[in-house]
Amino acid sequence: MGGGSRNTAVAGVTPAPGGPLALPLFWRADASGGWVWCCAAWTSRTGLSGTASAGDGWVDAVHPEDRALALAPWGDRDDAGCRRARLRIRSRGDGRYHPVQPVAASARDPAGGLREWIGTLGPASPPEPRRPDGELQHYLRNALSVIRSVARRTALTSDSVEHYATHFEGRIDALARVQVAVIRSPWGGVDLESLIGEELLAHRVRDVVVEGPAVTLKARAAESLGLAVHELVINAVKFGAFSSPRGAVSVLWTVGPGPRLHLTWCETGIVAVSLAPRRSGFGTELIERGLPYDLGATTRIRIEPGRLVCGIEMPLTAETALGEIP
């Protein structure tokens, strides 16, 4: 943590899908193990669409010798991180098979019955010597717990199955972007500017001022803050500055005594806007309750004529940030 101020104007450019697999890749399956959803990165990296991957279709990307194992049932274990033997998945970028480690968590209905599986395909070996395999798998299991929590909270704030599916997919993709960055980093950290920039790029928004000193967040803090940024971006696309030709967005932060991170998301040039047009939704809950609980943050959302300001202030401690903390 540290360094000088940086000023970035983010343009909407989608990275090319070349090269080996970018992991982790996320999926959901019904109780019998048939896929019902896969993240956008799966399609980008394997060339298999969500429709083509549905049910058992995803095994077309699995090495022929591994397909029987891939189709073996997960069972009915209430396990926060069921591991399976490694599989080899073909990358569309280089045409080669790359080893992955499947991990899955069960999602239950109110009666305790198995409703679905939520899983990842993560690295089969650590990308750097400083990230031991046990630590990596522990992180993936924790990530699955976060995903299950997001699924549960999304269900509570959804009006329909279609609403649930759309919003859950977007939130899982946001988590995936954070987790790819965490796993690629030998220290398991995420640069704050990159976290914000990746989310803006994912939604192809332009001319956003992103400025602040270098801050590297630990995985848990990056996941929570990344989801908050995702909700702010989605709100701005649907109802706020990104939906108006006169709209403008800035994301500015400083590091004050404590040390504490002070981040401000500001939208101008908009009509009346709300993070929850009909009721208190996931985004409002996350920012006003989730961030204070997860990160010890102080948050505020202020809506004024033509303007929305969201302020997030959080401590930068050994639990939330990496690098030298003054």
The predicted-structure confidence for 124-181, as pLDDT tens digits, reads as follows 754 444 444 555 555 555 666 667 667 766 666 667 667 666 677 778 778 777 877 7
Sign of CA dihedral 190, 166, 35, 118: positive
Range in 21-30, 131-140, 249-258 with the lowest mean pLDDT: 131-140
Give the predicted TM-score (pTM) of the model.
Answer: 0.63
Nearest to 318 by CA among 214, 189, 227, 137: 189
The single-letter code of the amino acid at 241 is A
Domains of the chain: 25-182 (3.30.450.20), 187-322 (3.30.565.10)
What DSSP state is assigned to residue 55?
B
Range in 34-43, 81-90, 252-261, 283-292 with the lowest mean pLDDT: 81-90
Task: Give the pLDDT score at 6.
Answer: 47
What DSSP state is assigned to residue 15?
P
Task: Give the pLDDT score at 211.
Answer: 93
CB 320 within 8 A of CB 295: yes
